[in-house]
Amino acid sequence: MRVAFQGEQGAYSEEAIYSHFGEKDVETTPCKTIREVFNLAEVGDVDYGVVPIENSIEGSIYETYDLLLTTSARVVGEIILRIVHCLVALPGVSIRDIRRIYSHPQALAQCRGFITSLGVDAITTYDTAGSVRMIKERQLRDSAAIASERAARIYGMDILAKEIEDYGRNYTRFLIISRYEAKRTDKMKTSIIFSLPHVPGSLYNALGEFAKRGINLTKIESRPTRQRPWEYYFFLDFEGNHEDEPYKEALRELAKRAIFLKVLGSYPRAASIP
């Protein structure tokens, strides 16, 4: 099974892949960008792509939301991964030697308090594990990376500190995308995108179609349309399969009210966070 992700080996997205699919018979494909993951999944060069969608501390990954609007790939699953950040450096380096910390912007933001306490410079890179790899390749003895324990192990680096995130309950939700539909299961979730006329009560009335049918909404996010200032696309997740009643009926009524409606897919719900 081939699964694409954004980042280098040891990235949290790759960790999410292994936590969901297992490590046996899975071939991971590192990509420079989230867009590349979508492209590979759309054309079937990989069986699946795994992309981050939101973090419990820093919120939504807007690039993923924007790409969902135009992709032909389907959402076929979700993964919730506990994120444990480590301060990673070359062997023999102590925390007193560190002057710069490299990592992905999300990781730096999730460890803002720890970085401030050290009084060092924070420098953004495209990936957590990629930062570890760069420090090793360049032999930067005054620098450290924020990355996973697995990344430190892969690149033979030392962990100077562990669990450095500002909040202990730090989770990232990932979506699994594919060119094929998900298989039906008992507990499913559906993701959709829609836009509405810019008139009073349009969102209230649209969401009312779900409320009157007792459908549980689990997430709503808005993103600018970019074509019309101050108008938005709404990304909505709800429990249930869009092919079953009453979910099908709610979507039919929503379509009557919406300017645009796209069903991204129905897929198995991830296990709840302990």
Look at residue 139 and tell me if it is in a domain. Answer: yes
The CATH number assigned to the domain holding 8 equals: 3.40.190.10
In a shared domain, residues 75 and 115: no
Look at residue 273 and tell me if it is in a domain. Answer: no
Judged against a pLDDT cut of 70, whether residue 274 lies above it is answered with no
Look at residue 21 and tell me if it is in a domain. Answer: yes
In a shared domain, residues 61 and 100: no
The last residue of one of the domains, among 145, 178, 211, is 178
In a shared domain, residues 78 and 113: no
Query: In which band, very low, low, confident or very high, does the pLDDT at 128 lie, cut at 50, 70 and 90?
Result: very high
In a shared domain, residues 156 and 108: yes
Look at residue 6 and tell me if it is in a domain. Answer: yes
In a shared domain, residues 90 and 142: yes
pTM of the shown model? 0.93
List active site positions.
172, 174
Look at residue 183 and tell me if it is in a domain. Answer: no
Question: Could you list the residue range(s) of the whole structural domain that residue 54 is in?
Answer: 2-83+171-178
The last residue of one of the domains, among 162, 197, 215, is 162
Q: In this predicted model, what pLDDT tens digit does every residue of 79-105 receive, in sequence order?
A: 999 999 999 999 999 999 999 999 999
Q: In this predicted model, what pLDDT tens digit does every residue of 157-189 receive, in sequence order?
A: 999 999 999 988 899 999 999 999 999 988 999
Look at residue 141 and tell me if it is in a domain. Answer: yes
User: Encoding tokens for residue 120?
Assistant: 């060092």
Look at residue 242 and tell me if it is in a domain. Answer: yes
Sheet arrangement for strand 217-224: 217-224, 232-239, 188-195, 260-268
Judged against a pLDDT cut of 90, whether residue 228 lies above it is answered with no
In a shared domain, residues 37 and 108: no
The last residue of one of the domains, among 146, 178, 210, is 178
What pLDDT score was predicted for residue 271?
80
Look at residue 274 and tell me if it is in a domain. Answer: no
Judged against a pLDDT cut of 90, whether residue 230 lies above it is answered with no
In a shared domain, residues 17 and 36: yes
Judged against a pLDDT cut of 80, whether residue 205 lies above it is answered with yes
Judged against a pLDDT cut of 90, whether residue 2 lies above it is answered with yes
Number of structural domains in the chain: 3
Rounded mean pLDDT of the chain? Answer: 95
Tokens 């079937």 map to which residue?
44
In a shared domain, residues 230 and 246: yes
* Of 162, 170, 158, 175, residue with least CA distance to 34: 175
Tokens 């060092």 map to which residue?
120
In a shared domain, residues 78 and 91: no
In a shared domain, residues 150 and 204: no
In a shared domain, residues 7 and 77: yes
The CATH number assigned to the domain holding 199 equals: 3.30.70.260
pLDDT > 90 in the chain, percent: 92
